[in-house]
Amino acid sequence: MTQREVKAAVLLIGDELLSGRTQDVNLQAIARFLAPLGVQVAEARVAPDVPEEIAAAVNALRARYDYVFTTGGIGPTHDDKTADAIAAAFGVAIGVRDDARAILEAHYKGAQHLNEARLRMARIPDTAVLIANPVSKAPGFQIGNVFVLAGVPSIVRGMLQDIAGRIEGGAVVRARTVRGRGVKEGDIAEGLARLEAEAPGVSFGSYPWFAPEGFGLHLVARSSDMAALDKARDDLRALIASCGAEPEDVEEA
Near its own copies in 9-48, by CB under 8 A = 14-25, 27-32, 35, 40-48
Of 98, 102, 115, 246, the residue at the interface with its own copies (CB under 8 A) is 115
Name residue 207's beta-bridge partners. Answer: 218
According to the binding rule CB under 8 A, does residue 213 interact with its own copies? Answer: no
- From the number of C-beta atoms within 10 Å of its C-beta (0-12, 13-18, 19+), residue 118 rates as middle
Give the H/E segment covering residue 28: helix 26-34
Least spacing, CB of residue 230 vs its own copies, in Å: 19
According to the binding rule CB under 8 A, does residue 222 interact with its own copies? Answer: yes
Nearer to its own copies, 44 or 132 (CB): 44
According to the binding rule CB under 8 A, does residue 132 interact with its own copies? Answer: no
Contact indicator for 100, 122 with CB cutoff of 8 Å? yes
According to the binding rule CB under 8 A, does residue 81 interact with its own copies? Answer: no
According to the binding rule CB under 8 A, does residue 2 interact with its own copies? Answer: no
Nearer to its own copies, 131 or 195 (CB): 195
**Cα(37)–Cα(150) distance, integer angstroms:** 21
| 192: nearest Cα among 245, 237, 249, 253 | 237
Of 134, 200, 201, 208, the residue at the interface with its own copies (CB under 8 A) is 208
What part of residues 163-202 is at the interface with its own copies (CB under 8 A)? 173, 175, 177, 184-190, 192-193, 196
Nearer to its own copies, 11 or 148 (CB): 11
| 164: nearest Cα among 236, 232, 229, 69 | 69
Contact indicator for 138, 108 with CB cutoff of 8 Å? no
According to the binding rule CB under 8 A, does residue 161 interact with its own copies? Answer: no
